[in-house]
Every structure is written in C-alpha cells, then in structure tokens.
Structure 1
Amino acid sequence: MLRSLALAIIGLSLFPTSQVAAEDIRIVPDVVYGHKFGLATTFDVFAPTEEANGAAVLFMVSGGWYSRWSPPEQLQHRMKPLTDKGFTVFAVRHGSSPKFSISEAVADVRRSVRFIRLNAERFKIDPDRIGVFGMSAGGHLSLMLGTASDDGDPKAKDPVLKVSDRVQAVVAYVAPTDLRVAAKDAPDRLPAYERFPALDIDQKTAEPDSPLLHVTSDDAPTLLLAGAKDDLVPIFHSRNIQKAFEEAKVTSKLIEFPEAGHGFGGEDAQKATEAMVDWFVKHLAAE
C-alpha cells in the first residue's frame, strides 16, 4: 500500500489535460540527459509559447524515490501555474527504486541540471536562473541540489560533468531532510519506512544524502512547505533544516499547514502552489 502511496505522490495535483489549451505550452517529451546500464534517463520540457521569462524550473518526478514515466500531457496542468508566469519547466525522471539507490537518484538529478545548463541556448533559458521543486522524495532531491551542489569538474572527459549543478532557488514540499532517522539502524525509525526499498540503508550510508548535513551559507534560497500532521515525513524535518538555514543566514522560509498531512488538498494546495510560484518569481527574476 505504501508503495502505491509513494507512486501517487509523484502525481500529486494532476488534473485532466483537457483543462489546458494545447497552444499555451509546447511539450518536448523524453529528452535524454544520460545513460546507465543500457537505459536512458530523460526529462520532458514544458515551454510557454508566449512571453517566456528565460528562467527554468525543474520538477523532480519522484515519490519514495520511485520515478515513474507517464505521458507528459498528464503533468501539463501541474506545470501551468509556472508556464503561465513564463517559466520553462523540466519534469526530470531519475533511476528508480528499487533498482537504483538514493545516491544514484541524487547523481542523476545532478546530471540533469548540468545537462540543462550546458544546453541552455537550445532550451532558450538563462543558465544562471534555474530553480527546482519536488514533493516528498522529490523535495529531498530538490534540497540536495540546493545544499550540496558543485561547480563541475574541469578535468572530466564528459562535457556535461564539467558544468555546475548549482541551482538558484528551491521549493521543497513535505521533504525528508535527515535520512539518518529513516535508516534501518535508527532507534526511532518509523515502521512505515520498512516498505521503502530505497531506505534499506544504515545511518552512515544516509549521511551523504541528508540535506540537513550540507547546509552552508552559499545555499540556494529555499522555501519549505510542510504539513503539521504529516505522519510519514514528520514536520521536524522541515523545522530542523529551517533552523539550520537561519543559523547559516541562508534566505529561506517555512510555511506550515496546521491541518495537512503528507500532501495538500483544497485551499492548502492552492496556497502552496501560489507560494511556490511567488518564490520562483522573486528569486529567478531577470536582473
């Protein structure tokens, strides 16, 4: 059941594609940004057809570190609040659990940022105005990009790896921030985590992929959205990293939804979406 929940998280707030006029958004599906084990890692592009603002926003397609393909038209409405503001949106898929680990998922999304930045002219975006958002595991991956990225390796043979994977703004919904508490040897581990293959890790293994442990003063401006009644990713995850951001003087904000659990509905969903869009408008605006 929890596996189904994890997959459902990937598609939070999806609506029928008929609600979006085809001429509003140009979709480029299945762009390949990497390969491994004979498989391609891909993303879909949602580009506004008018009044593009030159900034990019990446959406991490991930729930429970499962990353599932679906027709891009099913994501179209989810991207509309951003494309309406002129953002070009990239729905990024990573190597999925249970085949691939959390560390491998992090490596994949890092590569996606490098690839998009390297091909900024092709996608008609500014390489210095890239944001990222996601929900649950997607929020975790977004935070990893915001806190633990680098400028690339100038000695790499692969031209993609020479490019920075830093982002300029992050929005993380109901995101795990310290994977050590979900590791199999954590003393207070929630029983629910036993059903997520990606969390079959020990506390030591969890450290490199815990955003809380990577917070530094040069992190991207970050908006955290969390439900106070979340019993899968308790709100202390967001509160703890918000405290760390404040101590490091990182531009950040935590919005708590008192009655929400692991995901938002109704007015909470609307408010969260508005806050997300406003955050990207503020922090990715052209200078």
Structure 2
Amino acid sequence: MKTTISCVFLVLTLLPGHSACAEEKVNIIPDVVYGHKFGMALTFDVFKPQNPNGAGVLFMVSGGWYSRWTEPQNMLGWFNSLLEEGFTVFCVRHGSSPKFKIPEVVEDVRRSVRFIRQHAQEYGVNPNQLGVWGGSAGGHLSLVLGTTSDQGDPNAKDPILKISDQVAAVAAYYPPTDIREFVDNKSPYYHRFPALQFEADLADDFSPLLHVTPDDPPTLLIHGDQDKLVPISHSKNIMKQFEEQNVPAELIVIKDAAHGFKGEDQNRASKAVVNWFKQYLLSP
C-alpha cells in the first residue's frame, strides 16, 4: 500500500516553488462546481492572470486516477509559467479512485471541458482556444480528450452534455496510452490502481493509442527514458500513430529521467508546455 500511495501522489509532490509576488498577480476562483455525482460536487479552481491572452488550459489533477483537493495557492508553482504568458488555468478534479473507475473519471473530465466552454465568456477565454495538460494518469486523461472528443449530444436532457468537449491542443507527461493489459486482473497495475478495475472489454475505449485520427489536436508528449512505472514505449507508440495520421505532434525524451521530473528536467518540461500552447492556442 505504501508503494501505491507514493505513486499516486508523485505528480502532486513534485511542485515547483512559487513566489509571493506571483500569487499577488493571480485572481483565484476556488471550487467552481461543474457537476454533481453521488451527492457530491465536482469542482475546479480558476487561475486568472493579470493580463489574460484569451486562451485557457485545463490541468488534470490526477495521479493513479486519484484526484485530491489541495489549497489552490499550493498549485501556483505548476502554473506560474503559463500565467505569466497570459493563459487562464483551470485546475480540474474528477471523481477519484478508488470509488470511481476510469470510465466514470473520463465522463467527469469530458463534462469539465463542456462546462468551461459553456461559461467561457465568464472566464475571459475563447471557447475554441482550450488546451488540456496532465501528467501520468492526468496525461492519459488529456490524451483521451484529445483523441476521442465529440460534438456533444443534441438530444441530451442535460444542456451541458449538448456542448462539445473538443480541445485545441494537448500536452502530456509520461502518459499511459494503452491500458488494455492493465485491466487484466493478472496485471500488477490492476491491483495497485483500483480505477483500472472495470470491464476488460471496455479497455479499448479508453486507450488513446487506438483512437488517433487526422483531426486530433496538436499533441506534445514528454517522457523520461528511465520511467519504470509507465515505460516510454507508451509515448513512442502513440507518437508513431500521430506521425502516420499527420497529426502535429512532438515527443521530448528526457534522458535519465524516471516517472516524475525534478529540477532542470521539470523546468525544461514546463517551458516546452508553455511554448506548445503558445504555438497552438494563440495562433489564428
């Protein structure tokens, strides 16, 4: 259990530092409710920069498909570089493992995109300039959104579900891209991460590797070549599919990095994410 918990919180414990000065320039709107399930609220925090550029980035708060609340100010270290460039950031939490499995988690993050698109004017962002970013399980969810989005269901009773969940750009750190082998009860992943304990015949639906098409948004992958938790083959395999389908994509391999980036590796990855979104969310 100790090993599992350490993996779950890996993403959230590698936060870059932040300054009090940066915090003063950001307007934080905490705990916006974008839906309800089992009597509980689904929430995200909004980080509005002093000089917004009109684009928004959704950050998937997910490690091992666990999604934990933390004081919004403690997340500023992740977002400073985006905020300094004028991006509005949405820190999205989903229904967490072990209660909820991947199919339910994906439903939540889809809803978050639809909700933010519906309320884009309130947040000062263009609904067609939304990107998504995450690491590990958050990277997986980002790729699911990028490769399997839809235009919404015009017949849905819930008005939110009538809205598109498409995003214009994706960035993913060390993402699982094929979960078919993980949902086998003989797999160690199946037992370490309860969100994988769902019907095996649904695994194809949530494996981004199998859903790459030419209309997918530009996608940035960043992976360490010494990652033992999510081998770099996951990023290499989907990168090949992006290339074959002529999707604008890039894979940055960080030498000697494991699952989770530190120091200069973290700085390099963060700069790459900012440049990616500047290129693909701010272009006409």
Per-residue CA deviations over 1:113-138 (Å, capped at 9, x if unaligned) read 00000001111100000000000000
When structure 1 is superposed on structure 2, of 246-255 and 193-202 the one drifting more is 193-202
Inter-partner Cα distance in structure 2 for 1:91 and 1:143: 17
Inter-partner Cα distance in structure 2 for 1:163 and 1:27: 25
Inter-partner Cα distance in structure 1 for 2:54 and 2:23: 20
Task: State the AA in 2 paired with 1:43.
Answer: F
Task: Tell me if 1:216 matches 2:213.
Answer: yes
Contact 2:180–2:200 (Cα < 8 Å) also in 1: yes
Inter-partner Cα distance in structure 1 for 2:61 and 2:147: 19
When structure 1 is superposed on structure 2, of 212-221 and 4-13 the one drifting more is 4-13
Task: Tell me if 1:170 matches 2:167.
Answer: no
* Aligned-pair CA distance for 1:22: 3.1
Inter-partner Cα distance in structure 1 for 2:86 and 2:108: 26
* Aligned-pair CA distance for 1:207: 1.2
Inter-partner Cα distance in structure 1 for 2:256 and 2:205: 32
Normalised TM-score (structure 1): 0.95
Q: What secondary structure, in the 3-state scheme, does the structure 2 residue paired with 1:44 have?
A: strand
Inter-partner Cα distance in structure 2 for 1:269 and 1:13: 9
Aligned residues: 283
Query: What's the counterpart of residue 2 of structure 1?
Result: 3
Normalised TM-score (structure 2): 0.96
Inter-partner Cα distance in structure 1 for 2:80 and 2:173: 18
Query: What's the counterpart of residue 277 of structure 1?
Result: 274
* Aligned-pair CA distance for 1:19: 4.2
Q: In percent, how many aligned pairs have the same letter?
A: 55
Query: Unaligned 5+ residue runs, structure 1?
Result: none
Contact 2:175–2:230 (Cα < 8 Å) also in 1: yes
Q: What secondary structure, in the 3-state scheme, does the structure 2 residue paired with 1:95 have?
A: coil
Q: What secondary structure, in the 3-state scheme, does the structure 1 residue paired with 2:181 have?
A: helix
* Aligned-pair CA distance for 1:2: 2.9
Per-residue CA deviations over 1:234-256 (Å, capped at 9, x if unaligned) read 01100000001111111100011
Per-residue CA deviations over 1:191-215 (Å, capped at 9, x if unaligned) read 3552111122454231111111111
Query: What's the counterpart of residue 66 of structure 2?
Result: 66
Aligned counterpart in structure 1 of residue 229 of structure 2, from 226, 229, 232 = 232
Query: What's the counterpart of residue 35 of structure 1?
Result: 36
Query: What's the counterpart of residue 106 of structure 1?
Result: 106
Per-residue CA deviations over 1:130-183 (Å, capped at 9, x if unaligned) read 000000000000000100000111111211111100000000000000001212
Contact 2:23–2:73 (Cα < 8 Å) also in 1: no
When structure 1 is superposed on structure 2, of 196-205 and 58-67 the one drifting more is 196-205
Across the aligned residues of Structure 1 and Structure 2, the Cα RMSD in angstroms comes to: 1.5
Inter-partner Cα distance in structure 2 for 1:13 and 1:147: 27
Inter-partner Cα distance in structure 1 for 2:190 and 2:267: 29
Task: State the AA in 2 paired with 1:130.
Answer: L
Task: Tell me if 1:249 matches 2:246.
Answer: yes
When structure 1 is superposed on structure 2, of 222-231 and 152-161 the one drifting more is 152-161
